[in-house]
Amino acid sequence: MNELGKKLCDIAFDKQKADYLLAMREESGNVAPVFISKGEDIGEANIDYPYQLVTILSRIYPWLNKGKIAIVARRCDEKALNETIKRGLFDGNRIAVIGLACSKEQIKKCRCNDPVPTKVDIGEPNNGVNTDELMNKLQRISPEERMDFWVRQFKKCNKCFACTTNCPVCFCEDCVLEERTFVAEKGIPPGLSFHMIRTFHLADKCIECGECERSCPVDIPLLTLRKMALKDIKDLYNFKPGDRETASPMLTTLEGELLEDDTHVC
Amino acid sequence: MSEFNPTILAFCCNWCSYAGADLAGVSRLQMPPNVHVIRVMCSAAVKPEYVFKALSQGIDGVLVLGCHIGDCHYMTGNHRTAKRFPLAQKILNDVGIDETRLKLDWVSAAEGEKFQQVITEFVGVIKKLGPNPLREVKF
């Protein structure tokens, strides 16, 4: 157990009184998520690599009936937790957050404008970056050029579903992209509609973690596309995903009241 | 060169717009023959996914027609439609498809003439825009 591991365990098990801890550790040169219960050895803990632990949490949560889970969370993980708790996937009282502030390089890579968690436990808080150069460029050029750009990007797509599998807010049990009506079983690349459908679905819950872009094996600038959609929904309904109270405008009627039985639908 | 004849899909809700289209037909109102009408139970049953798929496969324009706000057979179905489609239009714009290729409008069962007017106008707009560039793109 290294220094960092000790610190994480201290915060999780002593301060937050959690029963489990979800973090990242290094083992023979590879960094991977690790899930331990109280008293276990965490090993060589590592926080240098961004990874959406909420995705892992949503996989193991159904197997844990009781106990509090502490999770190492950057600001984006925290927002992802808020979005998922709001939609009823987790019990908010059973989850404790260990706030992790991102480094400057990481913020630059994610073009993140909101990098500081509500409570910083580890790391030094840094200011966010406000501009996404690619997005600015795409908004300047003509629609024809923009389509040309995206068609060239999406032609690289090989429908590996990495963006979907690793997304912390993709939690539908029956994914619309696995329906043959919308995405043909045969045929690679899947076409423009695949990415438009995903963009539309994530517009009211994307928390800009950039995991889709990081996990994409062919480097499609997916985070830029998400940021564009988030700007659209902000312009239209003045809604920004990431807090636990505000209901998504897609789930409310024009008067603003929630539709029946709709709080749990994604 | 022959004139460009667009292919247009019109999703009409069963309770208002489809009856409106019916009325337009029974009243023998003249309108362009480019529109394929698809009957759906409610305008909220039209997932934006259908629109995205249609446009990315080369359809020139998509019309979504529903009951007027407040008249929905399912109380608040068209409220959802009214919220979804502006966002879908913006996303189309983000990937470079002209957002006027998707249009949302309300036509009630008594408005045969409005149906004719909406169709004629939309076909005019799409004719001016030209064919969908995605028709030529092979993925």
Q: What is the pLDDT of residues A23-59, one digit of tens each?
A: 998 888 889 999 988 888 888 888 888 888 999 998 8
Planar angle of CA A181, A187, A192, nearest 5 degrees: 70
pLDDT (tens digit per residue) in A87-144: 888 888 899 999 888 888 888 888 888 888 888 888 888 888 888 888 888 888 998 9
The pLDDT score that the predictor gives to residue A264 is 52
What's the structural domain count of chain A? Answer: 2
In whole angstroms, how far apart are CA A99 and each of A64, A86, A229? 23, 19, 27
Give me the residues of A, 243-262, that contact B with CB < 8 A: 249-250, 252-255, 259
Query: Looking at the domain assignment, is residue B43 inside a domain?
Result: yes
- Domain membership of residue A154 (yes or no) is yes
Give the global pTM. 0.89
> Which residues lie below 8 Å from residue B43, measured CB to CB, with a gap of 6+?
B11, B13, B17, B64, B65, B66, B67, B77, B78, B81, B104
The answer to whether residue A261 is domain-embedded is: no
Q: What is the predicted ipTM?
A: 0.90
Residue A219 lies in a domain: yes
The pLDDT, as a whole number, for residue B1 is 57
* Total domains present in chain B: 1
Residues 96-155 on A with a CB inside 8 Å of B are 138, 143-151, 154-155
- Do the domain assignments include residue A117? no
Within a domain: A226: yes
Question: Same structural domain for residues A9 and A75?
Answer: yes
Tens digit of each residue's pLDDT (9 = 90 or more) over B67-87: 998 888 888 888 889 999 999
Mean pLDDT of the A236-262 span:
80
Question: For all residues of chain A together, what is the average pLDDT?
Answer: 87
Give me the CATH number covering residue B55: 3.40.50
> Does B105 reside within a domain?
yes
Q: In B, what residues contact A, Cβ < 8 A?
A: 47-49, 52-53, 55-57, 69, 76, 79-80, 82-84, 86-88, 90-98, 133-134, 137, 139
For residue B127, is it within any domain? yes
Q: What is the dihedral of CA A193, A194, A195, A197, to 10 degrees?
A: 80
Q: In which domain, by residue range, is A181 found?
A: 133-251
Is A70 in the same domain as A143? no
Hey, what's the torsion of the CAs at A22, A27, A31, A32, to 10 degrees? -40
Last residue of a domain, one of A58, A79, A110: A110
Distance from CA of A146 to the nearest CA of B (A): 5
β-pair partners for A99: A73
Within a 10 A sphere around the Cβ of A239, how many other Cβ atoms?
17
Q: What is the model's pLDDT at position A262?
A: 57
Q: Are both A68 and A154 inside the same structural domain?
A: no
What is the distance in angstroms between the Cα of B92 and the nearest Cα belonging to chain A? 8
Q: Which domain holds residue B12?
A: 8-135
Indicate if A66 and A160 belong to the same structural domain.
no
Residues A151, A86 share a domain: no
Q: Do residue A104 and residue A144 come from a single domain?
A: no
* pLDDT tens digits along B86-131: 999 999 999 989 999 999 999 999 999 999 999 999 999 999 999 9
**∠ Cα A84 A266 B14 (to 5°):** 165
Structural domain includes residue B2: no
Q: pLDDT-based confidence at A259, cuts 50/70/90?
A: low
User: Domain end: A78, A110, A142, which one?
Assistant: A110
In this structure, are residues A235 and A241 in contact, taking their beta carbons and an 8 Å threshold? no
Flag whether A258 is in a domain: no
Identify the band that residue B10 occupies on the pLDDT scale cut at 50, 70 and 90.
very high
Do the Cβ atoms of B84 and A252 come closer than 8 Å? Answer: no
Q: What is the C-alpha to C-alpha distance for residues A139 and A34, in angstroms, rounded to an integer?
A: 41
